[in-house]
Amino acid sequence: MTVIVDHDPQNAEALAAAVGPGTVVLGAMDQLSRHLDETPDEDVVVLASTIDSSVAFHFAELARVANPALGVIMVRRRVDTSLLADALRAGVREVITDRDLAGLGQAVRRSRDLARQIRRQVESGHAADDSRARGHVVTVFSAKGGCGKTTFATNLGVALADRGRREVCVLDIDLAFGDVAIVLQLFPAHTIADAIPLADSLDEHGVSALLTPHSPGLTTLVAPVEPGTAENVPSSLVADLISVLRGMFDFVIIDTPPAFTDHVLAAFDASELIALIATLDIPALKNLKLTLETLELLNYPREKWRVVLNRADSKVGLALSEVEKTLRIPISAQVPSSRDVPAAVNRGVPLVQEAPNHPVSVAVRQFAEEHVARLREDASDRSRGERRGGFLRRKATTP
């Protein structure tokens, strides 16, 4: 259910029409307090432009603690960077201009979905259980552009999400030229840049407001739209975002720029698996070899590395056995070449989603299940082993 608070009855009527049936309209904030006391399971509160911003911020701060599932959406006549920063810092989920009624309806739907998800977690005991398994982080990297890194990362996300069976977030830290939003044909309301004002108080509630959903089980946090913004995003913020996201999702897939930046190193530090993408051409393989040597120098364990050969069936005179011998590491996945891949990118629909039986989709899904999904199974096995081991040790020491 959604509640709209607006001092102007005519304006409230227009907002209610945009939100949809079943909306409760109230004329004052004191009425809202009484209503929430009587109906504590409301999903969304929309505070119209007639509600003072300071009052809206104060309400959002209180709701953030008292009822984390409740989404607060502000409607303003004008939205600028300062207002947006203050709103996100206070815990407001989204800020919409009063002219964007269609955007308001979409924001309410997103907030309702998130509210239900949070409540499900609370009901199942996950939210209150600090010992629950944390999400697993996989970074997709290539030191050479044009190897299909972003396409692989997004399709891997779709494969892992498996139509909602798992919760997956694709995080784009190619801050200057990130393409995740374009490849998935998304129109994000927020990007990583909007997390900058939240750096000192980053939590799940604040990060949730920055996410852009794609399909069942798959959510994204995309790179800034303006390339110049990258300079203002510290690597510590990326590390904090990864930490928060892994508490919210089963898997976090990180797409990266083709360089060893501080942001990429922060991703490597948090990752349990590093998928290294290359193609069957000498420049790409040379860069892959240098990447492997750099990872070794930086002491990233070899057991985390997975080499993925993209367009692996290209007839270019290089044998896979020779590549493995040169790199001194096995190839974990071979993704075949297909003109259907760029065609799917141009349509904005991941091939794994559009054609699950396509050879490319099969190869990506196989990598997802054999190498990435296994992280969760291994973690569960370790957890069960530790519990059994602890019991046996206690039993053995009992006189």
Q: Please, what are the averages of pLDDT over each run of 10 residues along the chain (399 residues)?
A: 91 91 90 89 92 93 84 91 82 89 87 76 51 79 92 96 93 94 91 86 85 93 85 90 93 95 94 93 89 92 93 72 84 92 92 95 96 79 52 38
Quick one: residue 259, left, alpha or beta (phi over 0 = left, psi -120 to 50 = alpha)? Answer: beta
Q: How many other C-beta atoms lie within 10 A of the C-beta of residue 83?
A: 16
Rounded CA-CA distance 314/302 in Å is 27
Tokens of 77: 């006549």
Segments of the chain assigned E as strands = 2-5, 24-26, 44-47, 71-76, 94-97, 136-141, 168-172, 212-215, 218-221, 251-255, 273-279, 305-310, 331-335
Integer angstrom CA distances of residue 66 from 31, 93, 191, 313: 18, 15, 27, 56
pLDDT score, position 385:
55
Rounded CA-CA distance 339/348 in Å is 15
210 close to 189: Cβ distance less than 8 angstroms: no
Rounded CA-CA distance 394/324 in Å is 47
In this structure, are strands 251-255 and 331-335 parallel, antiparallel, or unpaired? unpaired
283 close to 144: Cβ distance less than 8 angstroms: yes
pLDDT score, position 393:
37
Q: How many other C-beta atoms lie within 10 A of the C-beta of residue 300?
A: 17
pLDDT score, position 316:
61
Where in the chain are the domains?
Answer: 2-123, 136-384
Rounded CA-CA distance 186/324 in Å is 37
- Structural fold of domain 136-384: Rossmann fold (3.40.50)
What's the angle, vertex CA 257, arms to CA 168 and CA 187, rounded to 5?
Answer: 55
Give the DSSP H/E element, type plus range, for residue 189: none
Give, as one character, the DSSP assignment of residue 166.
Answer: S
- CA 354 to chain CA centroid, Å, is 21
214 close to 186: Cβ distance less than 8 angstroms: yes
Task: Render pLDDT for 214-263 as a digit per residue (tens, 0 to 9).
Answer: 999 999 999 998 877 878 899 899 999 999 999 999 999 999 999 999 99
pLDDT score, position 201:
77
285: CB partners within 8 A, 6+ apart: 278, 318, 323, 326, 327
Task: Render pLDDT for 129-182 as a digit per residue (tens, 0 to 9).
Answer: 444 457 999 999 999 888 999 999 999 999 999 999 999 999 999 998 999 999
Rounded CA-CA distance 61/366 in Å is 44
In b/e form, how buried is each residue of 234-265, taking b as 16+ CB within 10 angstroms? ebebbbbbbebbbebbbbbbbbbbbebbebbe
243: CB partners within 8 A, 6+ apart: 270
In this structure, are strands 136-141 and 212-215 parallel, antiparallel, or unpaired? unpaired
For residue 279, list its beta bridge partners. 310
Helix then strand then coil, % of the chain, to nearest 5: 50, 15, 30
What's the angle, vertex CA 72, arms to CA 68 and CA 76, rounded to 5?
Answer: 160
Burial class (CB in 10 A: 0-12, 13-18, 19+), 346: exposed
Give the DSSP H/E element, type plus range, for residue 50: none
Give the CATH superfamily of 2-123. Answer: Response regulator (3.40.50.2300)
Fold agreement between 2-123 and 136-384: yes
